[in-house]
Structure 1
Amino acid sequence: MSELPDRRLLLVHAHPDDETINNGVTMARYVAEGAHVTLVTCTLGEEGEVLVPELTHLAADQTDQLGRHRIGELSAAMEELGVTDHRYLGGPGKYRDTGMIYDDERNAAVPHETRPDSFWQADLLTAANDLVPIIREIRPQVLVTYDQFGNYGHPDHVKAHRVATYAAALAAARSYREDLGPAWDVQKIYWVAMAESVMRESLRNLREAGDTTTFEGMDPDGPFGPFITPDRFVDCVIEADGYLDRKMNAMKAHATQITVDGPFFALSNNNGHQIWGSEAYRLVKGTAAPGPDGLEHDLFAGLE
């Protein structure tokens, strides 16, 4: 690889489309600013539902070709965002989408039965060893992944969190696996977040507009589950600043998974911008460098 730019960002996600929903604006912004953005996707998303009627035959319970199809969707999405360095953990298809069920609290959970080749069943050290050489090659100052709950409980999100966390620690150890490259210590690690205030205001606007189906069952003034982050834990917010269209186009590229013209994404202009154009993060390693409003607006803030 040729000499890398001074700023380098690594994102570790579970399935194709997770990166765009959570970090599309962020990725597009840093690519545009000349940073090196690397995406590592842990599975092909083979167990996803298929929203395009003429492609339902690709589903896992039919021809089981959805994963291969989603490779193309991810490539198209990355083209929209300008990301040229996107990889699959251990190579495409090494770790299979685990799938999910909903528990009694309506959070995602591990299915009662999982395949031996599922990401959930993968040995943690083996999976981490597939990520360590990427960290040591790219030498990112910033790593982005999920929190310990995987945002909403999906087992592959939880596993991606564990793999990224373990791999970052191993990659920094000078004495660990010299064959995987020189040690590299990631300076800042962030977990993706959905800020409570943003969700409450967006829900309130939807309910006042008569929409009772989007985010059904969520009360703007009621308790939220663990997938919502209290504002006091949000350290950094990246705003759209002209990149929302790229994010929405990248969402459209994930056509089997996302219906961009449906109510979930086609909210009122202000509401849609607020939810999808504002990406929040929790800093869990490194030193925050907040601005006058108490927040960072740059994942590289404070780094030389």
Structure 2
Amino acid sequence: MSRPRTLARRRLLLVHAHPDDESITTGGTIARYAAAPDTEVTLVTCTLGEQGEVMVPELAGLAAEHADQLGGYRIAELAAASAALGLTDHRFLGGVGRWRDSGMVVVAGAFAAAPPPESLHPRAFCADGQRAEQVAALAEILAEVQPQVVVGYDPGGSYGHPDHVRAHEISMAAAAAAPSVRKVYWTVQPLGDLAAGLAELAGAPARGMPWRLPGADELPSVPDETVTTRVEVTDQLAAKVAALRAHATQLTVWSRPSAPEGAGPTSIEQLAFALTNEIAMPVLRTESYTLAGAAGSVQPVRETDLFDGIEAW
């Protein structure tokens, strides 16, 4: 007869659509809480990211339009990223390969509504008729893990990808029915933080960064006033960068000491990464969230810890 599962005092669960999403938006947060005493972090990934573009020319044959083996390869990338972040509890929603990356149609300048392709794979994550089973699969994990805090995406899925939107929908539905859940957060990128990060990268292309800086409105962001929670992850940057580098088929990281040799401390680096679009994005030292239901409240919420206000049990 198996023994009852012993729960950590604090329990955090994150829901992400594809491998690499966890490192890009929440890597520092995962590393911070994974290293905290009596704290358990669980990552749920909804697909294998089969439809992703491939950054490495030598691996281009893995892509969906060729051998269609990218999803299996990205399992190993996600495992390496999880190890870099100190994450030990990872689940694929419904089991490995149950739902497939839906892909999306890229709409220039649009982050709120990126439609799926006209022809969807039968296992596409965003397909009609799949939602109820997906909610049930996530609810089963929540019942086992019993997290007090759940992290997902905002209603627009951060940048409009249909899988992100579906991940938001099922996260909200499953969390609403889970007795343990006290708080639900949406991972967001504040406009002010993004602008400051890009300002730090000004001139970086001339100093060896191989990508261009984005133009106005080329990167998704939210108004600063909608942000309720900022988690400081400076001490976790090395882990986050290692996790980003683990997703080599999807992105590349560029780094440079902030001062030339002999000119002073160089512990803080200029950091940026780019996807296959080769548009530079800063690696921020703070990861930001909106507490669902708190934005627009009479008393603004200003937190620095996802467990603020929770009486752990």
TM-score by length of 2: 0.82
CA distance in structure 2 between the partners assigned to 1:209 and 1:36 by the alignment: 38
Q: Pick one of 82, 91, 94 that aligns with 1:87.
A: 91
Amino-acid identity (%) = 44
**Are 1:201 and 2:196 matched, yes or no?**
yes
Q: Pick one of 72, 75, 81 that aligns with 1:77.
A: 81
Partner of 1:25: 28
Asked if structure 1 preserves the Cα contact closer than 8 Å seen for 2:256 and 2:269, the reply is no
Residue 214 of structure 1 and its aligned partner are, at CA, apart by 5.1
Residue 110 of structure 1 and its aligned partner are, at CA, apart by 1.8
Partner of 2:278: none
CA distance in structure 2 between the partners assigned to 1:210 and 1:246 by the alignment: 25
Matches within 5 A, 1:1-304: 2-34=5-37, 35-107=39-111, 108-121=114-127, 122-169=129-176, 171-172=177-178, 184-207=179-202, 216-219=213-216, 224=217, 227-261=220-254, 269=268, 271-272=270-271, 275-285=283-293, 295-304=302-311
Change (3 A) 1:215 1:128: farther
CA distance in structure 1 between the partners assigned to 2:292 and 2:163 by the alignment: 20
CA distance in structure 1 between the partners assigned to 2:46 and 2:81 by the alignment: 16
CA distance in structure 1 between the partners assigned to 2:77 and 2:108 by the alignment: 32
CA distance in structure 2 between the partners assigned to 1:226 and 1:210 by the alignment: 18
Residue 114 of structure 1 and its aligned partner are, at CA, apart by 1.6
CA distance in structure 1 between the partners assigned to 2:196 and 2:304 by the alignment: 21
Residue 54 of structure 1 and its aligned partner are, at CA, apart by 1.7
TM-score by length of 1: 0.84
Change (3 A) 1:285 1:155: same
Deviations 1:183-238 (A, max 9, x none): x241000000101111112233434556698565523xxxx479311111111111
Deviations 1:128-170 (A, max 9, x none): 000001111111010000001110001111110011111112x
Change (3 A) 1:285 1:226: farther
Change (3 A) 1:267 1:39: farther
Shift >4 Å, 4+ stretches:
208-217, 265-271
| Segment of structure 1 superposing worse, 252-261 or 105-114 | 105-114
Name the aligned partner's letter for residue 300 of structure 1. F
Q: CA RMSD in A?
A: 2.6
Change (3 A) 1:11 1:215: farther
State how many pairs are aligned: 281
CA distance in structure 2 between the partners assigned to 1:267 and 1:126 by the alignment: 48
Name the aligned partner's letter for residue 124 of structure 2. S
Asked if structure 2 preserves the Cα contact closer than 8 Å seen for 1:198 and 1:275, the reply is no
Residue 52 of structure 1 and its aligned partner are, at CA, apart by 1.5
